[in-house]
Amino acid sequence: MNLPEYEPSDKIWQNIEAKLNEDALRQALKSLPEYEPKDELWQKVSSKLNKSNFGYVKWVAAASIIIFISVYFSQKNNEIKYTKQQIEPELLLSENDLSEYGYEEIMKICNEDKIVCEKPEFKALETELEELNTASTELKEAIGKYNTEPELITQLAQIENQKSDIIRKMAAQI
């Protein structure tokens, strides 16, 4: 069976010849000289890296300050919440704790005339006053420095008014 044969294009050999021809050039290029930079060049690179890192640190520091200021003011703004609370005038605490002054005066009298102070009614009032004092102390601790809970302040005012009533009753018995 005589199957046909095919002739490759002339371009194939031209391509092969071109590649073979280039081999001489490729070999020569492989043996081209190499050059070495002077050692001073690394010193320059290294010092520039130090400067750029210092610059980086400066940027980080600047960014930290900006973040700190932003957070500070955002929190500060959060603190400035405006709420309007209505407290009945009679429940407001007086600036001077007059009840304490009155209680001290009563105790001075009791020390001079103990008979009145030994009466059960007077003793009951004294016990009630001590309980109110304990409640008042605990409430003051709960309120803390910033007086942020209006309900607690109202309760404290009520307790202080009750204390004043009791001290008035005690004074009336004397």
Partner 1 sequence: MTENELIDACILNNRFAQRTLYDSYKRAMYTLAYRLTGDFDDANDVLQDAFLDVFKNLGSFRKDATLGAWIKTIVARKAYQRFKKPKFLELKEDFEENELISWDEQMNSEYLEKAILALPEGFRTVFVMIEIEGFTHREVGELLGISEGTSKSQLFHAKKRLREMLK
Point out which residues bind partner 1 (CB under 8 A): 11, 14-15, 17-18, 21-22, 24-29, 31-38, 41-42, 44-46, 48-49, 52-53
Whether 174 and 111 have beta carbons less than 8 Å apart is answered as no
Token couple for 38: 């002077």
**Between 52 and 127, CB nearer to partner 1:** 52
**Between 50 and 64, CB nearer to partner 1:** 50
Using only the alpha carbons of the chain, give its radius of gyration. Answer: 48
**Between 32 and 80, CB nearer to partner 1:** 32
Cα first-last separation, the chain: 146
Phi-psi region of 88 (alpha: psi -120 to 50; beta: other; left: phi over 0): beta
**Between 47 and 134, CB nearer to partner 1:** 47
- Report the nearest approach of partner 1 to the CB of residue 37 (Å): 4
The span from the CA of 44 to the CA of 78, in Å, is 50
Token couple for 26: 């490729």
Give whole-number Cα distances, 55 to 49, 50, 71, in Å: 10, 9, 24
